[in-house]
């Protein structure tokens, strides 16, 4: 079984693969810490100042500024991940050739294969599980590594069903 598809930035940044569980939890923890710090600062200002309106105003400003910092950090993370992915050559054409022992993955900048392409063989024993979303398959290799296969790489629904059964039979 062979699959060839173009892997781009939109595939890389899809929600299911971009934010891993630990990243979501860390962002939620940071957000809770921001709220706690904002409440603490607002409380301190409330006890120090005689003007209640000023303390509420400063409380809201502190929360707003901390959330702007968090939002900026989130987008910085996206830019860093995209830059690293470009440097690794992750975008371009992906050629997957599945065999009984595993699969060969080859990345190239053009539809045709060339000498400078990056490729490797992955045994089925190294594949932990197959996840699926509405638009993608994710071959999980462990340690946060996944091979993302867009369902648009298949021309008809039957090919998707055959692929799903083929992979699930081997992992």
Q: From start to end of the chain, where are the E strands?
A: 2-7, 92-98, 102-108, 118-123, 129-132, 136-142, 145-150
Q: Do 73 and 108 belong to one domain?
A: no
In angstroms, the CA 54 to CA 61 distance is 10
Residues 84 and 95 grouped into a single domain: no
50 shares a domain with 101? no
The residue out of 88, 114, 147 marking a domain boundary is 88
Q: What are the structure tokens assigned to 50, written together?
A: 């005689």
The helix/strand/coil state of 112 is coil
Are the C-beta atoms of 140 and 159 separated by less than 8 Å?
A: no
Same domain, 166 and 95: yes
Coil, helix or strand for 56?
Answer: helix
> Model confidence over 30-87: pLDDT tens digits?
777 877 777 777 677 667 766 666 666 777 777 778 778 877 787 788 788 888 878 8
pTM of the model: 0.63
Same domain, 166 and 100: yes
Q: What is the pLDDT of residues 110-130, one digit of tens each?
A: 666 555 556 888 999 999 999
Write out the residue range of the structural domain in which residue 148 sits.
2-9+90-170
């Amino acid at each position: 079984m062979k699959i060839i598809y173009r892997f781009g930035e939109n595939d890389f940044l899809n929600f299911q693969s971009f934010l891993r569980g630990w990243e979501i939890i860390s962002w939620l923890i940071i957000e809770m810490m921001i709220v706690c710090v904002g409440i603490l600062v607002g409380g301190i200002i409330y006890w120090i100042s005689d003007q209640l309106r000023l303390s509420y105003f400063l409380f809201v400003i502190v929360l707003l500024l901390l959330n702007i910092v968090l939002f900026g950090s989130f987008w910085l993370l996206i830019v860093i991940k995209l830059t690293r992915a470009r440097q690794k050559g992750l975008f371009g054409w992906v050629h997957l050739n599945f065999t009984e022992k595993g699969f060969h993955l080859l990345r190239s900048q053009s539809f045709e294969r060339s000498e400078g392409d990056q490729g490797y063989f992955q045994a089925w024993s190294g594949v932990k599980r197959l996840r699926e979303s509405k638009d993608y398959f994710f071959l999980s290799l462990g340690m946060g590594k996944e091979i993302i296969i867009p369902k648009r790489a298949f021309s008809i629904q039957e090919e998707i069903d055959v692929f799903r059964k083929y992979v699930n039979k081997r992992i």
